Structure 1
Amino acid sequence: MNDTHEVRITTQDRSARCPADQSVLEALLRDDIWLPHSCTQGTCGTCKVRVLEGEVDHRDSSEYTLTSHERAAGIALGCQATPCSDLALEPAERVDPGDAVPRHPLRDHGGTVVLLDDIARDVRRLVVELDEPMGFNAGQYAEIRVPGTEVSRQYSMANPPSRSDRLEFHVKRTPGGVATDGWMFAGLRPGDRVELKGPLGDFGSNPPSGGAAIMIAGGTGLAPLTSIVRHVLAGESAPPLYLYHGGREQRDLYDAEFFRELEQHHERFTYRPCLSEQQWDGAMGAVTDVVLDDFASCKGLSAYLCGPPGMIEAGVKALKRRRMAPRRIFREEFPDASDNFAGAR
């Protein structure tokens, strides 16, 4: 049996038991102790903590995300660091925990595939019926394990939290990918069993409220935004929502009919698909440029961006040009999946 250590978060005065081979972030989340985090792969730095007492093994923490200067100052990545002793930690940056947002403990789950359909070019809709419900917030994701391997991939839930026993994922095929070409686009079938863990991420920790919100998706970045849109519109006082979905060609877009129907039933919701490489009767150009054309000013508005890093970067610049406050811009990057990066996000 592995040694375990006590990991205490001083800002919450709570602690969890953490095996020596488990990240401190996972141990805390499993014990329902919230720590800000996003990618869980050591690439974003959202989960940085300050080690006040004890020692950690930094494991695979990269110099790019965690510099030698930060290590010397006692900073660690919660998603990578494992305990070498009992620990006392605090978040490296004080972050509003969002008391109004429910928190859900990280758990292992099993489920059965009930739907697996092609919905766009190299994109499949995967629906899993869980054995037990998994509470989550709109915008969060789960890690799905590839059978017979130690490989897991991250996929955001596209369904609203109100349906916590039936999770929907949008899966982008990666040529040669272990999870996609090697499994989900090859041998996976309805009726097969799936193992996953979740929820993870804090993309939905600041749900739209008050002023209007612009939502910009590239590719399968549409998944978490779909969850957020459906959740917000189900409330009693939804703010105006503007959803933009960008693709190269029409075959890259999906669920357009669903969003058109949603638009008909909710006067405060607007759907704007756009293409960058094909002539059609809708909006054309880079999705972020279409947003610039539609809004002369974004002052007082919020934005949620999800998709490839290049789109995120362009979107943030565009929104700032339209006077949107940086603190109102929330983002979730979906890097291209590869066997060297444990995620399709």
Structure 2
Amino acid sequence: MIRKLSAGVYTYLPLGTRILNKVINIIREEMNKSGAIELFMPALQPLALIELSGRIDAFGDDLLRIKDRHKRDIALSPTHEEVITDLIKNEVSSYKQLPLILYQIQTKFRDEARPRFGVLRSKEFLMKDAYSFDIDIDGLNNSYQKMYDTYCRIFERCKLDFLAVEADSGAMGGDVSHEFMVPNENGEDVIVKCRSCDYSANIEKAESSPIVSDDNLELVELKEVSTPKMTTIKEVSEFLGIESNKMVKTLIYTYDSKNVAVLVRGDHGVNESKLAKVLSGNEIALADENTVVKLTNAPMGFAGPIGLKTQIIADQAVSILKNCVVGGNKADTHILNANQGRDFKIDKVSDIRYVTDGDRCPKCNDVLDVSHGIELGHVFKLGTRYSEPLGAK
């Protein structure tokens, strides 16, 4: 059905093209039924247009760029929010022309670092993208629900066992979005779903009920121990015979030329999407080794919160830990029986971790299951994310 030309680039053979056209026809029929109007936008767009929305950095190296013979910077479209907003700014002159939903089925380009899974993660791909323009929030909510329902009809007609999950908006922007997923153990997306209620989300968005502390546990005196060349949670856990959920990882991040220490439990991972929101949407990055050494007086792998002279943000699961293991801020050293409040101060407690299998549902408190899936589609409430910077009023 398909043949690979190069990494992430494929030819559809006659049979593959017939199948593709059947899917396109289903999508077009359902989009037209919803009242959306089809158009076709160029794949080439001025880089300056994307700069107006501030998304150049968000796309990073995924954005394919070229120069024309006049040395003007052009992007091969990864998506068309800026182009459609610029069009509407110049074509719609009255609120009486709204609401309006426009869509296209067109080739997109993204310079994926690791193209994989055939056409599921490729550099050149066909996508249906739709854009709604409304007078107010009520109109936005109505358009969002209309597209949500349309996607459901499309996937039902394709006989797919799909799931709509709460999602993080990522580079697109906005504050509400849903992804449509097909559960599949080979999928690269991670789904969190409650066993009892209707709660489901992708791993970037998923939340869980707060972990309850053991209030009866007595505080024990600090004890410094030697952990020679043991820089990972696994190594220290095995050496000390202490479970990783009784340990704390201290990670140093940078944002706006500032440093922040981030604490998560040893068996948890930092969710950088959540952390960025806690830091008011700032772009964040793990600090380099020189910064870590300067801040902690220790090589990487031995950072800890005790005596740290910087802002400390801790995940909720860390805030209730007692007698935990932390880095000693000294080479080859860890500290046992550390307790927040007594031994170190947390400046802010927030949900900044990835949900794990067996966590509790934030809605009904039953068990959450973590599985894999393939993303089929995504709907976003973008609000004025693009209309404001591009001057579409």
Which TM-score band (shorter chain)? Answer: under 0.3
Comparing both chains, which one has the higher relative contact order based on Cα–Cα distances under 8 Å and sequence gaps of 6 or more?
2
The structure having more radius of gyration, on CA atoms, is 2
- The TM-score, its normalising length taken from structure 1, stands at 0.26
| Structure ranking higher in helix proportion | 2
Q: Normalising by the residue count of structure 2, what TM-score does the alignment of the two structures yield? A: 0.24
